[in-house]
Amino acid sequence: MRLVMDTVEEEFVEIPIPIPSSTSSSSMAKRPCPSQNPRMELENLLYQFLSLSDRPSLSLDLSFENLLQSMPPDTDLIDRALKMGSLLLDAAKHSSRKRASNHNSIVWPLPPDLTFKIFSMLDTQSLCYVSAACSFFSKCAKDPLCYENLDLTTLVPKVNNAVVATMIQRAGKALRSLKLGVVPATACSPGFCQPMVSTIRKAIVEAPNFSWNDKRSRQGRESSVLTRCCLSPLSGDGGAPGALLRKLHLYNIERMDSTSLCGALSACPSLLDLEIVGIHVELRQTLMSVSANCHLIERLFFESSRTGRDDSLKAQTCSELVNNCPNLTSLSLRGFKLHDCKVRILVKGFRKLKYVDFSSSYSITGNFLRNLGNCNGGNLLEVLILRDCMHLKEMEVIRFLTAILAGDFKLLMHLDISNREGLACEADWYHRCYSSNSNMPIKQVLEARPDMRLVAEYPSEGSYAETFDAEMNSDISLQFSSPTSDGSIFMSTSESSYNSDHGSGNEEGQDAVIYGESSDEDNNMNL
């Protein structure tokens, strides 16, 4: 017996087994030669031990207790039992996992390349869940093709830099589209719904189970916040992930700034579709970066995070953009201070421009629309949205509609000149034009152009508001109704709460409509 112990000890240094004389008579009977089959010896022992589990009347705890009582008190049997128990449990769990893996390979006969075909059709969130089902799926789900279109948008801030980095890394050069940030649930496709910026704050506060004191951030783990470098993985790995990126949509990333955004854009020369909402970046700087880096761009949707306060756009920026990005077909600049002369450069200059949205812009009067119909840039317009532009003059709109009646803008399919406050009257911003005293040839346009959808919703003074929809097309349903409850642009409530960590002046009241700088129409307006 001693001999057996010695050989066991030599081969398996970790496991000295004191074999009590009362048990394993069969192992004693085996008595192998010292150099032969020590492993088999152990396996026999194990097998015997495990077969004990078949015996219903056996109680291991009692036997163990008896054993302890029969041994001298300083024997370390308990520790050995703990150690052996632990070893056995680990081994059993490992084998159990192996068994599960084998089972899985029988039950799911598809090879990886067919499996990740399904996975590549899943949205990013579902992909995370599927990859946690079993190790084979986890492996399949790591294929770059599954990460081609990353949608990391959430209702409340939950994604952190690490998540973004991991996903981008997995995509590698297969990355084609990336959506990142916080998007409220009610946001629908842009161009036909309200500005997403002002609704975000309210949505965040109202979202269930969300607390700014989220436990995770307190635990010292990386906080659930995207920092300014969240897009730096696009430039990583020699710029491979960004190189073929086609679509980049960013929403309400509090900490992102101009430098980091421009850095990200410099890594994306193939960008076709750029959407930026509620990011604290300057219009001019961003457009310059697009000009410099994204020459293929076709769609640009830019919604300001500081409605009405970004007045950075310069004429030169517009010219450069027009020259460097000739493929632009869709341009949306919402919530900025835009001057007619600059806007004119844009609208005239882009030869392929079809879709224009300058909703919620300040300063533009509509002057830029003059004589647009008979030149290259303007005539191709199919959609023109000038919703809630505070300084849009009724007179200019009338002029424009007249041009349409005269046969210009033949391709225009959708025109939205609605205004919550009514259009501006000529001489005085205080006076608004309401539908009841409107001189606009709306009905004539509707008759002359039955193919066109004309939306011109204005408040009326003391009478029913008439809407002049050309057709009640339920497919493109506009979400506008009377001034909505979730924060209008012209009231400042959403504004002042928005810039708390920017410290850019937490003015209460009329900050939305005060212009300290020179503009062509430099008037104060109190609402």
Q: In whole angstroms, how close is the CB of 157 to other proteins at the nearest point? A: 9
Q: In whole angstroms, how close is the CB of 160 to other proteins at the nearest point? A: 7
- Of 99 and 410, which has the nearer Cβ to other proteins? 99
CA distance 506 to 122: 43
- Say whether 393 sits in a helix, a strand or coil: strand
- 331 within 8 A of 346, measured Cβ to Cβ: yes
As to burial, measured by CB atoms within 10 angstroms (0-12 exposed, 13-18 middle, 19+ buried), residue 76 is exposed
Q: In whole angstroms, how close is the CB of 130 to other proteins at the nearest point? A: 5
- Of 125 and 444, which has the nearer Cβ to other proteins? 125
- Which residues contact other proteins (rule: CB under 8 A)? 93, 97-98, 100-101, 103-104, 107-110, 114, 117-119, 121-126, 128-138, 152, 154-156, 158-160, 163, 166, 216, 224
Using N-to-C axis directions, what is the helix angle for 60-70 and 77-107, rounded to 10°? 150
- Of 201 and 414, which has the nearer Cβ to other proteins? 201
Q: In whole angstroms, how close is the CB of 167 to other proteins at the nearest point? A: 9
- Of 46 and 133, which has the nearer Cβ to other proteins? 133
Q: In whole angstroms, how close is the CB of 48 to other proteins at the nearest point? A: 28
- Of 129 and 430, which has the nearer Cβ to other proteins? 129
- Of 156 and 353, which has the nearer Cβ to other proteins? 156
Q: In whole angstroms, how close is the CB of 96 to other proteins at the nearest point? A: 8
Q: In whole angstroms, how close is the CB of 129 to other proteins at the nearest point? A: 5
Q: Tell how far CA 86 is from the center of its chain.
A: 45
- Of 29 and 107, which has the nearer Cβ to other proteins? 107
CA distance 520 to 476: 35
* CB half-sphere exposure, 356, CA atoms < 13 A: 26
- 191 within 8 A of 332, measured Cβ to Cβ: yes
Concatenated DSSP letters for 192-261?
SS--SHHHHHHHHHHSTT--TT-HHHHTTSPPS---TTTTGGGTHHHHHHHHT--EEEEE--TT--HHHH
CB atoms under 10 Å from CB of 523, counted, come to 13
